[in-house]
């Protein structure tokens, strides 16, 4: 009988085990509170996908605007400038050659 625990020690052991189980249950509860619901996850994922699609569309529109601006610059500034300067340069070259 010397190896058997006393009733008081049995109660202490059971209380320790019960405290361990309570701690485990509390930890599981905290982890469940931190878990994101699948519906919320899906909604966030869809919103993020829509945002990315919008940003890609805007990027494409900006690229198109940049190309249009370059074309306008060439058509409205560079070509008329060449049209004005080219005859002057040709006249100067002909005058220097004579």
Q: What is the pLDDT of residues 62-78, one digit of tens each?
A: 999 999 999 998 888 88
Full residue range of the structural domain in which residue 31 is found: 8-97
Residue 41 lies in a domain: yes
* Number of domains the chain contains: 1
Q: What is the pLDDT of residue 30?
A: 85
List phi, psi (to 5°) of 29. -60, -40
78 located within any domain: yes
Q: How far apart are CA 98 and CA 95, in angstroms?
A: 6
In a domain, 71, yes or no: yes
Give how far the C-alpha of residue 62 lies from the chain's centroid of Cα atoms, to the nearest Å: 19
CB atoms < 10 A from the CB of 64, how many? 10
Quick one: pLDDT band at residue 79, thresholds 50, 70, 90?
Answer: confident
Question: Distances in Å between the alpha carbon of 20 and those of 16, 17, 25, 32, 77?
Answer: 6, 5, 9, 18, 81
Q: pLDDT by residue (tens digit) across 15-58?
A: 999 999 999 999 988 888 777 788 888 999 999 999 999 999 99
């Amino acid at each position: 009988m010397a190896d058997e625990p006393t009733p008081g020690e049995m109660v202490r052991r059971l209380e320790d085990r019960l405290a361990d189980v309570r701690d485990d249950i509390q930890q599981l509860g905290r982890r469940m509170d931190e878990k994101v619901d699948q519906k919320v996850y899906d909604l966030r994922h869809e919103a993020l996908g829509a945002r990315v699609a919008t940003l890609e569309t805007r990027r494409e529109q900006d690229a198109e605007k940049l190309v249009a601006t370059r074309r306008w610059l060439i058509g409205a500034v560079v070509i008329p400038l060449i049209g004005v300067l080219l005859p002057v340069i040709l006249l100067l070259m002909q005058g220097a050659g004579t």
